[in-house]
Structure 1
Amino acid sequence: MFIIGNLIIALANVLDISLTIYSLIVIISAVLSWVNPDPYNPVVRFLHSVTEPVFRPIRRLLPFRLPIDISPIIVLLIIYFLQIFLISSLIELGYRIKGGNI
């Protein structure tokens, strides 16, 4: 059973790194939106294509419109919640399957 436990721990760590990288992408995208960059720049297009599918549903769910777009903040809070709750739970589950203590 230690192999399954190690697999769950490894998946949790990879997911944690992926969420950290995505949170950095969200922050960069939010900062770039303040300066109105060239929309034809490949980096700007990549950031927009990666973050906009996540921002759009959150903007639609907000019952009010603000002069500032708060969807990046909400996405960062969701990522933080996932890192605290989901990743910690997966790591603890992996250690329990292995039969060891945390």
Structure 2
Amino acid sequence: MIGLDSAGILILQTLGSLYLIVVLLRFILQLVRADFYNPLSQFVVKATHPLLRPLRRIIPSIGGLDLSSLVLALLVQMLIMALLLLLAYGGIGNPLSLILWAVIGILGLFLKIFFFALLASVILSWVAPNSYNPGALLVHQLCEPLLSPIRRILPNLGGLDISPIFAFLAIQLVEMLVVNNLAVMSHMPALLQRLL
């Protein structure tokens, strides 16, 4: 039965993480004020709408932040972690620890989304610099709020944009100094640390 447990964990991690990324993208797209008429944005909206509709009746948006999608991301992360712990160890342990681990997991995934969006932005700037592809436009909209403050600080280097290097450094430092240390201090099991 060890193979079945491992297969269940793999399927749960993969499918759960994919949906969690979509839910967190819903929050991020509204945070960066991305174009919601973009076909990829429409996919994110349609994939998250059934679960967000009841939460929106209870949880209001505050200051332009879609708190209901953030709460949904937290609930999905907690469910994934609880099921993983149940499959691997036969129990979920302390619910308060599970909430803390879910918050750490959401923070780690938030950083990963921006890291990979920046990576895609850099690659697209080399191979398709002025593309009007919906994916390229969405990546640009995700990265611009992160890169524009750095660009204001850096001197103009005549067409060479090195702001992504500093953004990558900032993301890696936050992940290394904050997320990883929080995971260790909260005694997060190794199985859950692989989600980070």
Whether TM-score is above 0.5 comes out as: yes
Q: How many residues align?
A: 93
2:163 is the alignment partner of 1:74 = no
Equivalences for residues 1-102 of structure 1 within 5 A: 2-35=94-127, 36-38=129-131, 40-62=132-154, 64-67=155-158, 68-95=160-187
1:45-88 CA distances to partner (integer Å, 9 max, x unpaired)? 101111011111100011x2224211111111111001101102
1:21 offset after TM fit, Å?
2.5
**Structure number with bigger Rg:** 2
Q: Please state whether the residue corresponding to 1:34 is helix, strand or coil.
A: helix
Q: Which runs of no fewer than 5 residues in structure 2 stay unpaired?
A: 1-93, 189-196
Q: Please state whether the residue corresponding to 1:65 is helix, strand or coil.
A: coil
- CA-based RMSD: 1.8
C-alpha contact (below 8 Å) 1:4/1:94 kept by paired residues:
no
Between the aligned residues of both structures, percent identity stands at 31
**How many Å separate the matches in 1 of 2:97 and 2:125?**
42
- Residue type of the partner of 2:139? L
**How many Å separate the matches in 2 of 1:23 and 1:91?**
19
Q: Which segments of structure 1 move beyond 6 Å, counting only runs of 4 or more?
A: none
1:11 offset after TM fit, Å?
1.6
Q: Please state whether the residue corresponding to 2:139 is helix, strand or coil.
A: helix
**How many Å separate the matches in 2 of 1:50 and 1:20?**
13
TM-aligned CA distance change 1:3 to 1:93, over 3 Å:
farther
- Residue type of the partner of 1:89? N
Q: Which runs of no fewer than 5 residues in structure 1 stay unpaired?
A: 97-102
TM-aligned CA distance change 1:34 to 1:28, over 3 Å:
same
**How many Å separate the matches in 1 of 2:101 and 2:177?**
14
